A = this chain, B = another copy of it.
Amino acid sequence: MSDSTIVYRPIGVIHSEHVMAEKTPIQSAYAKGCKGWVELFPEFAEGLLDVKGFSHIYLIYHFHQAGPGKLKVKPFLQDIDRGVFATRSPHRPNPIGLSVVELIGCEGNVLHLDCVDILDGTPLLDIKPYTAKFDRIDATRNGWQDDIDDETARQRGRRNYTGGDAL
């Protein structure tokens, strides 16, 4: 049990076409064609130097519309209760979101993105480069997700999103 608290401040805002949580794709892998952009607050713009060299970046953000944290949730891809730490559900003890998005371009304090599975207006906490050398891992076991066939995952994962490119 810990009484300590950790305080962060948003460094910018994520903008996207997704205005309803229940229609937002659940993973960037299901969001090809979903364009969006990061508006970094101008005082942090200098930190974007060299970012445009990367084809993909991590966005770490605050699920600002998440409900109370739960320990068991039904994931979007399946109708069975799972431990929240075995899912990407937003209803977590600390509602922190993580997405790998495609970086299309960088102008000043704005990053243009594809594969955005994030709700419009989401507060951004951090940006990190995605590097094949560190981050592309041969996972040998994918837990309950190995039980879901690809077509079901695609249909549920995309959640009625019909704009952009076909997957």
Interface residues in chain A, defined as those with a beta carbon under 8 Å from any beta carbon in chain B: 1-2, 4-11, 27-29, 41-44, 46-58, 60, 62, 71-72, 81-88, 92-94, 96, 98, 100, 123, 125-146, 150, 153
Contact = CB atoms under 8 A, between A and B. Distances in A.
Given A96-B8, A98-B128, A129-B86, A123 B50 contact: no
Given A50-B144, A53-B144, A125-B96, A134 B29 contact: yes
Contact of A6 (B4, B81, B125, B131): B125
A3 B131 CA distance: 32
Contacts of A9: 2, 4-6, 93-94
Given A29-B133, A85-B127, A133-B29, A94 B11 contact: yes
A98 B151 CA distance: 30
Number of copies: 2
Nearest to A62: B6
Given A8-B96, A86-B53, A96-B8, A142 B137 contact: no
Contacts of A56: 137, 139
A28 B145 contact: no
A62 B126 CA distance: 12
A122 to B, nearest CB: 11
A134 B28 contact: yes
Contacts of A57: 85
Contacts of A92: 126
Given A6-B10, A93-B11, A123-B4, A83 B144 contact: no
Given A60-B60, A142-B129, A71 B44 contact: yes
